Amino acid sequence: MTLALIIYLVFTALPAISTLAIVFCSSWAALAFFGLTFGYIAKDSYPSEPALWDWTTKTLLKRYAKVAVACLVVSVLIPTKEVTAYMLAGYGVQTVAQNDQVQELAGDGLDVLQQLMKKAKNSLEEEIEEKK
Distance CA 16, CA 8 (A): 12
Q: Does 37 have pLDDT greater than 70?
A: yes
Return mean pLDDT, the chain: 82
d(CA 19, CA 76): 10
> At residue 79, what are phi and psi to the nearest 5 degrees?
-70, 155
State the DSSP string of 12-70.
IIHHHHHHHHHHHHHHHHHHHHHHHHHHHHHHHH-TT--HHHHIIIIIIIIIHHHHHHH
Asked if pLDDT for residue 1 goes beyond 70, the answer is no
Tell me the domain boundaries of the chain: 2-98, 99-132
pTM for the model stands at 0.55
